Amino acid sequence: MNDKAPVVRTHDVIETFERGNGVVTRLLCNGAICGAQVTTGTTTLPVGRSVARHHHDCDEQIVILAGRAEAEIEGRRFPIGPMEVAFIPEGMVHCFHNVGDEPVLMLFVYDAPEVTRTFADTGETVVHLGAGDRAQPGST
């Protein structure tokens, strides 16, 4: 028998994280919030913006819900648009670039209840959406 309780989270209770340079993330569910074994949420990437190259301690899937982006994975760039998915295995350096003329809205799914991000350029590791988890380290 499952000892987990169902959770319905409405728009008004989902916390918004300002990650600098206009990048906004909303954490939908993770181990602490829902008791889930995955972490899910959305990130909005403004026109012309990118997130810093980084990797995670788990696998990640990104589904583009709106806009046009490029997924940069291990130095190679791949175009990605609405309802297309990028799968990034644990430890692979990646980032996303908004290359279109409207904000990119992406859904992320990590295969872990808690996640870390390690910035490729500095080696700094931060807790996902914790202090220091910026779109670009040092950005406001």
E-strand spans in 9-124? 16-18, 24-29, 39-45, 54-56, 60-66, 69-73, 76-80, 85-88, 94-98, 104-110, 116-119
Residue 2 lies in a domain: no
pLDDT at site 73: 98
Q: Does residue 55 lie in a domain region?
A: yes
For residue 108, the cross-strand partners are 41, 62
Average pLDDT over residues 49-68: 97
- The helix/strand/coil state of 11 is helix
The answer to whether residue 5 sits within a structural domain is no
Instruction: Classify residue 23 by burial, with Cβ atoms within 10 Å: 0-12, 13-18, 19+.
Output: buried
- The pLDDT value given to residue 1: 61
| Residue 119, in any domain of the structure | no
Q: What is the CATH number of the domain that holds 109?
A: 2.60.120.10
Q: Is residue 48 part of a domain?
A: yes
pLDDT value at residue 138: 63
In a domain, 94, yes or no: yes
pTM, rounded to two decimals: 0.93
- Does residue 18 surpass a pLDDT of 70? yes
Over residues 70-129, the pLDDT tens digits come to: 999 999 999 999 999 999 999 999 999 999 999 999 999 999 999 999 999 999 999 999
Which residues 6+ apart lie within 8 Å of 61 measured at CB? 85, 86, 87, 88, 108, 109
Backbone angles phi and psi of 134, in degrees to 5: -105, 155
The domain total for the chain is 1
Rounded Cα gap, residues 97 and 34, in angstroms: 30
Q: Length of the chain in residues, anyone?
A: 140
Q: Can you read off the two tokens belonging to residue 109?
A: 């799914």
Per the CB < 8 A criterion, the answer to whether 30 and 81 are in contact is no
Q: What percent of the chain has pLDDT over 70?
A: 97
